[in-house]
Chains A and B, each alone.
Chain A
C-alpha cells in the first residue's frame, strides 16, 4: 500500500534536502559568511575607533546583510539549473512545496548569517544594543521578507542571461521597503530612548505576508510553462 505524503511533508523534504546538500558542500553558507566578514572588516578598518550614530550603524548593518543576500541567495534555484536537477524537480515535484521549501531554506541561511554577523558587528563597531528583543524581531521579520522575495525572483531568472547583475537589479526595488523599515527599526534598537516602534514593525510583517501570498500565487506561472 502506498503512503501518500502531504504538502507539509514535501516542504519538509525539500528543506532537509537543501540543508543536507549544503552541509555536504558548504558552498552557499561559506560564500555568505566570507562576503559579510570581508565587507564588515573593510568598514571597521576604515572607520577605526570613530563613534558612529545609531542610524549610520543600522544602515551599515543592513547594507552588509543585503549585499550578502544578493551574493548568496539566488543559488537556491540557479544551482538546480546548472546541475540539471531542476528537470527532475519539475517532473516529479509540485510547485508550491518547492517554493515554500526553498523559501524556508533561504530563511534559515539568512538567520545563520545574522547570527554570525551581529556579534561581530557589535564587537567591531563598538555598538550597544538597547532593545534586544526589538532587534531580534526586526531581524526575523527582515530575513523573512528578504527570503520570500529573493526566492521568488531567483526562480524568475533561471532562464535569463547575466543572472548575477540581473538578480540585484530586480530585487532591489522590491526589497527596499524591507530595508528601509529594518534600518529604521534597528536604529531604534541602537538608541537608548524607549521607542514606540510598533507601527513600522507591523507594516514589515504585513509586507512579508503579502509578498509571501503573492509569491505563492505567481510561482505556478513561473514553474510551469
Chain B
C-alpha cells in the first residue's frame, strides 16, 4: 500500500506544480493553497476522529480507543501546525502580513489551542484509565464548542468589524482544473493521514 500512496502523492505533486494554471492575481503562489487547504481539512478531520474515538472509549472503556483518540489528536496537531504556518506564509506572500485574524485564521488558531490544551491535560494525569476518561471528556466538550468556534465566530465576530477585507482563501476563484487537482490533493493528504495513523498502530506504544 505504501508504494501506491507514494505514486499517488507523486502524481498529485506533479499536478500541482505543472498542471495548475496561474491563478488570477496570485500567480504561482496559488500552489501553496493546494497544500494548505488539504492540510487544514485533515486537521479538522483528525479532531473529529479523535472525538469519535473518545466517545467510543467512554462507552466501552477499551484503552485501544483512547490510544487511537490520542494518536489522531497528535497527528491533528501536526497537520494543524502545518496549516497555520502554510496559511501564514500564503498570507505574507499574497497580502503582505503573516497574521490578520481573518475568519480562517481564527478557526485554525482556536483548533491549535484546543489541541494544545488536550495534550497539556493528558500529560498532567498519571494513571492511564483516568487520563483516558478525562481526556475523552475534554475532547467531547471541545467538540461541542466547535460549531461556534468554526462557523459562528468567524462570520459574526469578524463581519461586524469590517477591516480592509483581504481576500479570504476560501473564496479563491477556482476553475474546474484547479478544483479537480484540489480534490486530488485532499484525497492524497487524507490518505497520508490514515497511513500515519495505521503506522503508529503497528509501532510499539510508549
Contact = CB atoms under 8 A, between A and B. Distances in A.
Do chains A and B make direct contact within the complex (CB under 8 angstroms)? yes
Interface of A: 152-153, 156-157, 159-162, 166, 169-170, 172-174, 176-177, 180-181, 184, 199-200, 203, 207, 210-211, 214-215, 218, 221-222, 225
A54 B136 CA distance: 40
Contacts of B60: none
A197 to B, nearest CB: 9
Interface string B97-124: 0000000000000100110110011001
A156 B121 contact: yes
Contacts of B126: 161
B78 interface: no
Contacts of B153: 176-177, 180
B144 A211 contact: yes
Given A170-B138, A176-B110, A221-B133, A203 B152 contact: yes
A215 B145 CA distance: 11
Given A156-B134, A177-B152, A210 B157 contact: no
Contacts of A157: 121, 124
B190 interface: no
Contacts of B134: 156, 159-160, 222
B58 to A, nearest CB: 6
A218 B137 contact: yes
B116 A169 contact: yes
A176 B120 contact: no
Given A172-B113, A218-B141, A162 B133 contact: no
Nearest to B58: A221
23 contacts: A159-B127, A160-B125, A161-B124, A161-B125, A161-B126, A162-B124, A169-B121, A170-B117, A170-B121, A173-B110, A173-B113, A173-B142, A174-B114, A174-B142, A174-B145, A177-B152, A177-B153, A200-B157, A200-B160, A221-B58, A221-B133, A222-B133, A225-B133
B130 interface: yes
A176 B137 contact: no
A165 to B, nearest CB: 8
Nearest to B149: A177
Contacts of A159: 125, 127, 130, 134
Contacts of B142: 173-174
Contact of B120 (A166, A174, A181, A214): A166
Contacts of A161: 124-126
B144 A210 contact: yes
B150 to A, nearest CB: 11
